[in-house]
Amino acid sequence: MFSFHNGTNNKIIMTDKNPRPPNSLDSNFTNQPLELPEYFKFDDDQWPDDEPEPFVFEHVVNQENQQANKFVGDFGGSGSYLEGSSSNDVSSEREKKEVTDKVAFKTQSEVEILDDGFKWRKYGKKMVKNSPNPRNYYRCSVDGCQVKKRVERDVNDPSYVITTYVGTHTHPGPFTRIFKICGVTLSMKRD
DNA sequence: CGCATTTGACCGGCGC
DNA sequence: GCGCCGGTCAAATGCG
C-alpha cells in the first residue's frame, strides 16, 4: 500500500500474481512475465503499513533497451488492462525515431489528481468510447521535457484511476529509489 | 501579470 | 474518400 503526496486512501492494488494478457495480444506477451506485483511486494516489505509513505514514479532509463516497453496487468481479476506499443518489425514502424516508454498502473483513489512529485500541465480532455468517464491529458511542465500522462477512471470499477505515463523525463526527478517494471526502470523515494 | 485550465476545433491514422 | 476515434492545439478564460 502506498499513498501519493496529496493522497488520502490512494492505494495501488495489484493482487494478481500471474495476470494473463488478453487473447488478442501478440505472442510476445505470453513469454514475458509480469514483474510488477513482485516489485510492489518488495516495497510493502520495505515500508510498514501503519506508516504510509509518499512516493512517485519516475522514468529513469530505457535507452539501452531497443524494444518498446509493454505492460500488461490484470488487477484484482475483474478485467484486463493493456498498455504499451507493439514491437512488430513492420518496416513503417521502424521509421519512427523515438521509442516511447510507456507504463500504466491503476490506483484506488477518490481523486484523479494524484501528486506524483512532478509538475503537470493539462492540455486536453476527451470522452473515450465505451466509457462514461473522460480521459485527461497532461504534459510535464518542465521546459523541454516531453513526458505525458493520461488519467482516466476504470470503466469496470470507477473507484480506480488508471494512470499512463509516456516518455522519459529529460530532467532529474526528486526521487532515488530504483526498481523495474517490465524492463522500464523507475525510481521512487520517501520525502 | 504570469501562469494554468477549459473546451471546441483541428489533425492524422485507420477501417470500411 | 469519408467518417470515426484518439490525441493535440490554442484561444479564451480563470486564478493567484
Chain segment A95-115, per-residue pLDDT in tens: 333 445 676 676 666 666 666
DSSP-based three-state secondary structure for A181: strand
Residue spans per domain, chain A: 102-166
Compute the mean pLDDT over every residue in chain A, rounded to the nearest whole number. Answer: 52
How many Å apart are A135 CA and C4 C1'?
17
Predicted local distance difference test score (pLDDT) of residue A172: 62
Please give the nucleotide, over all strands, whose C1' is closest to the CA of residue A127: C6
Q: Which nucleotides of B are covered by protein (CB under 7 A)?
A: 3-9
Asked if A59 and A165 touch (Cβ cutoff 8 Å), the reply is yes
A148-153, strands of its sheet edge to edge:
A11-12, A102-108, A160-166, A148-153, A134-140, A120-127
The pTM score is: 0.57
Give me the numbers of helices (H) and strands (E) for chain A, helices first please: 3, 11
Share of chain A above pLDDT 90, in %: 5
A141 has pLDDT over 80: yes
Per DSSP, the three-state class of A147 is coil
pLDDT at A93 over 90: no
A85, A71 contact by CB (below 8 A): no
A120: pLDDT strictly greater than 80: yes
Q: Which residues pair with A185 in a beta bridge?
A: A61, A180
Distance in Å, residue A19 CA to nucleotide C15 C1': 45
Domain A102-166: top CATH class: mainly beta
Q: How many CB atoms lie within 10 A of CB A140?
A: 20
The C-alpha angle with vertex A11 and arms to A124 and A104, in degrees rounded to 5, equals: 45
Mean pLDDT on A130-153 = 86
Q: Which nucleotides of C are covered by protein (CB under 7 A)?
A: 4-10
Q: Is the dihedral of CA A66, A100, A77, A57 positive or negative?
A: positive
A135, pLDDT greater than 80:
yes
* Burial of A46: CB neighbours in 10 Å, binned 0-12, 13-18, 19+: exposed
Q: Which three cell numbers stand for residue A76?
A: 484484482
